[in-house]
Chains A and B, each alone.
Chain A
Amino acid sequence: MRAVWCSRMTGGLALSAILLGTGIAAAQDAQPSHPDLSGFWVNQYTPNLSTVLGGEPPFTDFGAEQWRTVDTSKDPTAICLPVGPSRAFTAPFPFQLVQGKDTIAILFEYQSIWRAIYMDGRPHPEDVADYPYFMGHSVGRWEGNVLVVDTTGIDERSWLDTAGHRHSAELRLTERFESTGANTIKWTVTFDDPVYFTRPWSIARTFTRGKPADRLLPYTCNENNKDVEQLESFQPNLNYKHVPEPATGAKPKPKPQ
């Protein structure tokens, strides 16, 4: 009898301990700690995304023709229009990331421009397409230790890179920021634009923590933008031959009006 009682007591204590432990674990899950990505970071300059991709992205016929005929003298940044959200991360300039609980701010030296990533669970605004911003509208969430950012409402005048890869107003970016050490972040970006591309495609780059002595420096693009008067039409891709990927059954969306 005593043995049974002891056994039940022991089992009860063990169960209590397990439940207590679970409770602690649950409490920890309720307030998860995420990597702190704050800091001063340096981009990997990537003037042509296709060099990372290993070839041209999977163009639709329309996207291929835009690439073939692109005139690099028409680069929007040459007249000091802002860059888009992905080009800012591949330009040869650093950025400051300020990580808050509800908002993550990214302050780019290039063009002194910013991105705000809302982390409070809000959706994209219903009218985001009516009021596009060069950097788009970004909402983020944590998937484990990875910051995942979804961006829409990107002004279609921005280019994806200096080489002249372009996009439509339907571009949707998915970015993943993964801390890969004290001084590096792996940034993976997926471009989904059914007007320009037959399927989403991705590249990855590494941000490296800047030196402590470094700081954000002024970049006021139209301070002395003399280049714009000297640019001449230049179409480097006129010999580009589009080779469509094998059909997958998905219909590309029609060319925008």
Chain B
Amino acid sequence: MHRVVVGVFVALIVCIGGAPASAHHSFAAEYDRDKPVTLHGTVTRIEWMNPHIYFYMDVKDEGGAIVNWAIEGGAPTSLYRAGWRKDDMKVGDAVTVNGYLARNGKKLANMRTAVLADGREVFGGQQYFTPTLPKPPGF
């Protein structure tokens, strides 16, 4: 069991389902599926670019210091088909990210789901190809 303490609250998330999808690179070569994490913070930069989106968020650590984290999501095309649009997340938004820590110990996580500023919980990966998840209108 791993316990990871970051941000304004601490969470231990049970890893559900299979290994997260990542077609572009091996998930396990970059992230540890045994180290789930929940991060709550403020978005500082968004890179809606291929092959996977990145955004950055300021998160308070246990001592109250602000630490900037990098969050990797799915491919922009996959997120688009999942209903994400560029303006669903803006710099300055308060968001929560559920994901997995990087193996190299850096302030980097892979996003499984995110709770956006408006309260919507959205998936961060390749759900367009996961038939059990709802599709956006038109898809």
Q: Does B120 contact A (CB under 8 A)?
A: no
Distance of A220 Cα from B49 Cα, bound (Å): 8
**Do the beta carbons of A223 and B139 come within 8 Å of each other?**
no
**Do the beta carbons of A213 and B26 come within 8 Å of each other?**
no
What is the predominant secondary structure among interface residues of chain A facing chain B?
A: loop
Q: For A43, what are the chain B residues with a Cβ–Cβ distance below 8 Å?
A: 129
Q: For B19, what are the chain A residues with a Cβ–Cβ distance below 8 Å?
A: 47
Q: For B22, what are the chain A residues with a Cβ–Cβ distance below 8 Å?
A: 162
- With A92-B126, A224-B51 as known contacts, state yes or no: A230 contacts B139, CB within 8 Å: no
Q: Does B106 contact A (CB under 8 A)?
A: yes
**Do the beta carbons of A221 and B29 come within 8 Å of each other?**
no
**Do the beta carbons of A230 and B23 come within 8 Å of each other?**
no
**Do the beta carbons of A218 and B77 come within 8 Å of each other?**
yes
Least CB distance, B107 to chain A, in whole angstroms = 11
Q: Does B132 contact A (CB under 8 A)?
A: no
**Do the beta carbons of B78 and A223 come within 8 Å of each other?**
no
Distance of A236 Cα from B29 Cα, bound (Å): 9
**Do the beta carbons of A224 and B29 come within 8 Å of each other?**
no
- With A220-B50, A232-B103 as known contacts, state yes or no: A75 contacts B25, CB within 8 Å: yes
Q: Does A190 contact B (CB under 8 A)?
A: no
**Do the beta carbons of A77 and B25 come within 8 Å of each other?**
yes
Q: Mark A8-31, 1 if CB is under 8 A from B, else 0.
A: 000000000000000000000000
Distance of A2 Cα from B80 Cα, bound (Å): 82
> Looking at the complex, which one of A45, A73, A80, A214 makes contact with B26 (CB distance below 8 Å)?
A73
What is the predominant secondary structure among interface residues of chain B facing chain A?
A: loop
Q: Does A226 contact B (CB under 8 A)?
A: yes
Q: For A221, what are the chain B residues with a Cβ–Cβ distance below 8 Å?
A: 24, 50-51
Q: Does A219 contact B (CB under 8 A)?
A: yes
Least CB distance, B108 to chain A, in whole angstroms = 6
Interface residues on B, range: 20 to 34
Q: Does B47 contact A (CB under 8 A)?
A: yes
Restricting to A195-235, which residues have a CB under 8 Å from any CB of B?
A: 211, 213-214, 217-221, 223-228, 230-234
Q: For B30, what are the chain A residues with a Cβ–Cβ distance below 8 Å?
A: 73, 227, 230-232
Q: Does A193 contact B (CB under 8 A)?
A: no
Q: Does A91 contact B (CB under 8 A)?
A: yes
**Do the beta carbons of B51 and A162 come within 8 Å of each other?**
no
In the complex, the chain B residue whose C-beta lies closest to that of A163 is B26
Distance of A162 Cα from B23 Cα, bound (Å): 6
Q: Does A109 contact B (CB under 8 A)?
A: yes
> Which of B24, B49, B70, B128 counts the most chain A CB atoms within 10 A?
B24
**Do the beta carbons of B25 and A45 come within 8 Å of each other?**
no
Q: Mark B46-65, 1 if CB is under 8 A from A, else 0.
A: 01011110100000000000
A-B contact pairs, 9 of them (CB 8 A): A45-B129, A47-B23, A78-B29, A162-B26, A211-B138, A223-B49, A223-B50, A226-B72, A227-B52
Other than the given A223-B49, A225-B50, 8 more pairs (CB < 8 A) read A73-B25, A73-B26, A73-B30, A91-B23, A213-B138, A221-B51, A225-B51, A226-B72
Which 5 A-B residue pairs are closest in the complex by CB-CB distance? A72-B26, A224-B49, A78-B25, A73-B29, A213-B138
